[in-house]
């Protein structure tokens, strides 16, 4: 798009430096945020085993899922908090209940 000649190329008034508060520098300590991972792999790859050995894991199993229970029964993974999710609304309710809980 061509600008008409004679039209000044300036920012609108709301974007001038006088109307913007400059950010400040912070030298305080940063809070450690643990990494968040998604493992999307084929069956048998080791997703559940990997999760079971993470710090403070929780295993959510879909209806019909037996992988973690099989691994636990064979002694391949440690016992960790786990639950069975039977429906999408149940998953949403579970996740809503976790909001605000201590990590």
Q: Where are the domains of the chain?
A: 44-103
Cα Dmax for the chain: 80
User: How confident is the model at residue 101, as a pLDDT?
Assistant: 74
Nearest to 39 by CA among 67, 76, 64: 67
- Higher model confidence: residue 96 or residue 101? 96
- Percent of the chain whose predicted confidence (pLDDT) is above 90: 42
- Percent of the chain whose predicted confidence (pLDDT) is above 70: 81
Whole-structure pTM value: 0.59
Per-chain mean pLDDT for the chain: 84
Q: What is the mean predicted confidence (pLDDT) over 42-70?
A: 91
């Amino acid at each position: 798009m061509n600008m008409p000649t004679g039209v000044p190329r300036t920012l609108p008034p709301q974007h001038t430096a006088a109307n913007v508060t400059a950010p400040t520098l912070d030298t305080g300590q940063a809070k450690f945020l643990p990494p968040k991972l998604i493992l999307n792999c084929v069956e048998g790859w080791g997703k559940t085993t990997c999760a079971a050995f993470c710090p403070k894991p929780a295993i959510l199993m879909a209806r019909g899922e037996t992988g973690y229970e099989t691994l636990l029964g064979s002694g391949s993974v440690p016992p960790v908090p786990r639950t069975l999710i039977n429906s999408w609304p149940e998953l949403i309710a579970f996740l809503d209940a976790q909001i605000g809980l201590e990590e």
